[in-house]
Amino acid sequence: MDKWVYELIVEKIPPFSFLKGRHVTTFQLLLMLFVGIGISLYYHLPFRSLIMGSLTILVVVIWSRLTLIIAPTIRAFRPSLSEEENGIIEWYRELLFSKKRPELFAGLAIFIPLITYLYFNPYLIHYYLGDNLVVIAFAMVLAWDVAYRAGIGLWVYALCLIRSFRLFEASKRRKGLEHTLLNDLKAMERMDRRGVVYALTALLLFPVLSPDKHLTIFVILYSLSIMTFSMLSISLIRRVPWLPPDIAELLEKAKFAYVGHEGEDFPHITPVVQVFNGRNVYFVTSKASKKFKLLKKNNRIAVLIDERDPRDFFGNKAVLIVGKARYYELHNFLPNILKLTKVRNLFMEKYSQYISTYGKRKEELPEAWRLTPILKRIPVEVEPEWVVYWRGARRIRIGL
């Protein structure tokens, strides 16, 4: 796997190579603005050229920053635990970072038609730059910077969409413990969300290109396509299950779970009833419970879900889900009402008998246990951060 040309420039060429993280792009912004403003003042360009030039520089720098976040994320994906899905991710990475530098071709595919168009319709050039060759040369460099990054955006997000689609299709064929790592799927989703930012950034070019109708339409179409690619990709990647079918089945079947918390003087662990909606695990707790008080102080929790068979210890399965808990009270209940209604239905389905016994013997319950949803009983969501799975208990080994 290779790096993109821009990444190599930033990595190898001083002074960029001395800088880290966002300082790289901040420095790039200042440098480009300095040169740009310098040129426009020296050659007495109109004020509009200075403003629109700076706006273009801003677009280049935002896209650069996004590029420098996206590329390492993609390279960091670990091997997937499903052969088919792994093949898709490898294929996708290979295309993005091939030695043939496809991102340069994508850039050229935008730059060459742009230059040709400007050669035959030089209105925009006269409007901003007059006929000074130095100024035009600088503008062409800037145009290449824009086209190169626009090419990367198009290439990255078109491939993201195909990747998401193929992963989604492949995930339907998973068996047993096959899956793509949870954190990689989350990283893909985050990356696709950045696509929305990428698309919106393109719209900053709208005022710059507005004197030319065709280029304006082009930039809008460009922004719309990146937006569409990334939104579709998000919706597909969100449908790829986070957990392998074996674990999902256990979560759906197992009625009890244990919730663990670091507690106060000692760790705290209690049994709860739980449901799983394909992504997160939910349990319900009383506002008066110790668990809830602890959760408000520290939201890091562990949930263990297992299937135990007293006749056959070695047929046992257990899954530990570790992550941050989020609870729903009145203020954040409404915005999530659809999700929470589904969760409530899952509870009603899974624990119908349980809930009806609760209802019948309500008078015997302490105040805190009465089922007053939201006001007293609070749904808690646990988004998995990492997951451990055991199958079969280990024998007890006694050393002699």
- DSSP label at 258? E
Q: Given the rule CB under 8 A, which of 44-52, 91-99, 213-221, 294-302 is the region that contacts other proteins?
A: 294-302
Q: Can you tell me which residue has the tokens 């506002």?
A: 287
Minimum gap (Å) between residue 104 Cβ and other proteins: 43
Q: Given the rule CB under 8 A, which of 6-14, 110-118, 231-239, 264-272 is the region that contacts other proteins?
A: 264-272
Amino acid sitting at position 248: A
270 lies in the site for other proteins, by CB under 8 A: yes
| Separation of alpha carbons 125 and 115, rounded Å | 11
| Separation of alpha carbons 79 and 97, rounded Å | 17
Yes or no: say if 272 and 284 are a contact pair by the CB < 8 Å rule: yes
Q: Interface mask (CB under 8 A) for other proteins, residues 363-382, using x and -?
A: -xxx--x-------------
| Separation of alpha carbons 382 and 398, rounded Å | 37
359 lies in the site for other proteins, by CB under 8 A: no
| Separation of alpha carbons 83 and 78, rounded Å | 12
342 lies in the site for other proteins, by CB under 8 A: no
Name the CA radius of gyration of the chain, rounded: 28
Member of 21, 46, 113, 271 binding other proteins (CB under 8 A):
271
Member of 20, 99, 119, 310 binding other proteins (CB under 8 A):
310
β 268-276/256-261 pair status: antiparallel
Backbone phi, psi, residue 91, to 5°: -60, -45
In sequence order, the 6+-apart residues with CB closer than 8 A to the CB of 140 are 115
| Separation of alpha carbons 106 and 217, rounded Å | 19
Q: Given the rule CB under 8 A, which of 42-50, 83-91, 126-134, 250-258 is the region that contacts other proteins?
A: 250-258
Q: Is the peptide bond before 271 cis (omega within 30 degrees of 0)?
A: no
Minimum gap (Å) between residue 129 Cβ and other proteins: 57
Q: Given the rule CB under 8 A, which of 48-56, 63-71, 312-320, 340-348 is the region that contacts other proteins?
A: 312-320
263 lies in the site for other proteins, by CB under 8 A: yes
362 lies in the site for other proteins, by CB under 8 A: no
253 lies in the site for other proteins, by CB under 8 A: no
Structure tokens at 53: 């030039």
Minimum gap (Å) between residue 51 Cβ and other proteins: 49
180 alpha-carbon distance from chain centroid: 15
Site for other proteins in 322-341 (CB under 8 A): 322-323
Q: Given the rule CB under 8 A, which of 41-49, 52-60, 221-229, 353-361 is the region that contacts other proteins?
A: 353-361
| Separation of alpha carbons 190 and 167, rounded Å | 16
Q: Is the peptide bond before 15 cis (omega within 30 degrees of 0)?
A: yes
Minimum gap (Å) between residue 364 Cβ and other proteins: 7
- Torsion, Cα of 287, 293, 298, 303 (10° steps): -60
The number of residues that bind other proteins (CB under 8 A) is: 46
Q: Between 43 and 369, whose beta carbon lies closer to other proteins?
A: 369
Minimum gap (Å) between residue 107 Cβ and other proteins: 43
Structure tokens at 153: 């955006």
302 lies in the site for other proteins, by CB under 8 A: yes
In sequence order, the 6+-apart residues with CB closer than 8 A to the CB of 250 are 305, 306, 307, 317, 319
Q: Given the rule CB under 8 A, which of 144-152, 169-177, 185-193, 355-363 is the region that contacts other proteins?
A: 355-363
Q: Given the rule CB under 8 A, which of 94-102, 216-224, 235-243, 391-399 is the region that contacts other proteins?
A: 391-399
Minimum gap (Å) between residue 248 Cβ and other proteins: 19
Q: Tally Cβ neighbours within 10 Å of residue 209.
A: 18
- Give the residues lining the site for other proteins (CB under 8 A): 255-256, 258, 260-263, 265-271, 300-304, 306, 308, 310, 313, 316, 318, 320, 322-323, 353-354, 357-358, 361, 364-366, 369, 385, 390, 393, 395-400
